[in-house]
Amino acid sequence: MKLRIENRKLRIELLLLAALVLFSAAVVHADTWQNAVAQISQDLTQSRKDVETAQQIVGDERSRLNRELSALRAEAAQDEKSLQTLKTQFEELLQTEEKLRKDIEAQEAETKTLAETLRTAAKDVKELVDSSLITPENASRHAHLAPLLKPERSPGMDDIENLTAILFEEMEGGKEIRKRTGTFINDEGAEVSGTLIRIGKFTSLYQTGDAVGYLRFDKSLQKLTAVPGKPPWHIRRNIEEYFSGKSDSVPLDLTGGIIAEQVNRKQKFREHLEAGGLLVWPILLIAAVALLMCAERLYTLGRIPANTDRIMENIRALFSEGDVKGCQAICEKHSKIPVCNIIKTGLDYVQFSRESLENALEEAVLRELPRLERFLSTLAVLAAVAPLLGLLGTVTGMIHTFQGITVFGTSDPRMMSGGISEALITTELGLSAAIPIIIAHHFFDRRVEKIIGDMEEKGTAFVTLVLKIEK
């Protein structure tokens, strides 16, 4: 607008300058003063007209400029109003930006948490894959898991799909029985080829030539390896029949080869005993002593009949006839039978009173008891001491095991289970020794009770026979 006003002023100055030039030219060229005056008057009139025209132009221009100014002010007001609206929108956008920023931060935290969760899941799946019998059939598993295990990398949908695919593959493999031809590491460390059968994801078998057995997955070699040792003959026969289709059942090893290795490993009896520690030998000594005592009791009590009715009938018949010497001869002949010794003592006291006879018979019974009850109390003590020694060995072994845990920690469960297994050997031996001793003690005790009962019965019968004859 200022530029337009300056242009108008410049036009007016140019008109005045033109009038002055005309005036000067008129003065120079006029023949007379009057002509000059007339000329000037004419120029002046023309200039006035030009001035009026210029004023008219200026007025029109001012009106136009006023209109433009009003329009500009209206436009400025509209712009101001628009600016205020834009400011309001800007504030709203700032609030929206802040909200979106917080949402992005929350989503970033969730994404980070999700990434850590996926990475943890990938580590768990890696441990599963490292020990799975399905892994040798799909060597790309570790390559699919490797990107998820990188801490500086954010997992994508491809990684999640690969992780899900491995888990589904593991689930599908757990319900199928697959037979194939493949390679494995045998007992000698050589890689050989053979027929392999995978039963679910727990048990894998091999057959190469005449050799059969169980397989396990070695994560350090990333290959199937044969379980050391040779299975027992009945298990080998079952596996061979399963491979040939003659049998539809086979022993499973749900521990990935641990139980199969224990079954294959033939531990000698001496090694088993030595694993129990020093307290094994006292238990074995108790078992040996108890065995000798049982053998002696079996020999001694086995020679004594528990039913002497026939001998008693012969003695009764001879005594009724008054043949006391015949009765004594029978008793001498069977001197190792306690009943005969009781009757022999009674024959020596037939001439005495009833009380004396009964006392003599009771004394004879008591005299026979030590021979009959010999070693029985000792067997009872040994039966009680054997399991106590086994328990003592177990407690001692557990103390050593926990001392090892204190030093080395619980990183290797097999070390703990091995120590506990060795500690329980003494309990096993103690119970193995005590149970037969208890059974033998009960058998001998019942045998002695039966013999004592027979002695008391025959002694009472002899007293009755003597009294009957005297009457």
What pLDDT is attached to residue 383? 92
Q: Which pLDDT tens digit goes with each residue over 274-292?
A: 666 778 888 889 999 999 9
What's the 3-state SS for the chain?
CHHHHHHHHHHHHHHHHHHHHHHHHHHHHCCCHHHHHHHHHHHHHHHHHHHHHHHHHHHHHHHHHHHHHHHHHHHHHHHHHHHHHHHHHHHHHHHHHHHHHHHHHHHHHHHHHHHHHHHHHHHHHHHHHHCCCCHHHCCCHHHHHCHHHCCCCCCCHHHHHHHHHHHHHHHHHCCCEEEEEEEEECCCCCEEEEEEEEECCCEEEEEECCEEEEEEEECCCCEEEECCCCCCHHHHHHHHHHHHCCCCCCCCCCCCCHHHHHHHCCCCHHHHHHCCCCCHHHHHHHHHHHHHHHHHHHHHHHCCCCCCHHHHHHHHHHHHCCCHHHHHHHHHHCCCCHHHHHHHHHHHCCCCCHHHHHHHHHHHHHHHHHHHCCCHHHHHHHHHHHHHHHHHHHHHHHHHHHHHHHHHCCCCHHHHHHHHHHHHHHHHHHHHHHHHHHHHHHHHHHHHHHHHHHHHHHHHHHHHHHHHHHC
**% of the chain at pLDDT higher than 90:** 8
- Indicate the pLDDT class of residue 437, thresholds 50, 70 and 90: very high
pLDDT at 308 over 60: yes
Please give the model's pTM, rounded to 2 decimal places: 0.49
Q: Which pLDDT tens digit goes with each residue over 390-406?
A: 888 888 877 767 776 66
pLDDT at 30 over 50: no
What pLDDT is attached to residue 226? 84
Q: Which pLDDT tens digit goes with each residue over 161-204?
A: 888 888 888 888 778 888 888 888 887 778 888 888 888 877 88
Greatest mean pLDDT among 1-10, 84-93, 246-255 lies in 84-93
Q: Give the mean pLDDT of the chain.
A: 79
pLDDT at 293 over 90: yes
Average pLDDT over residues 117-128: 81
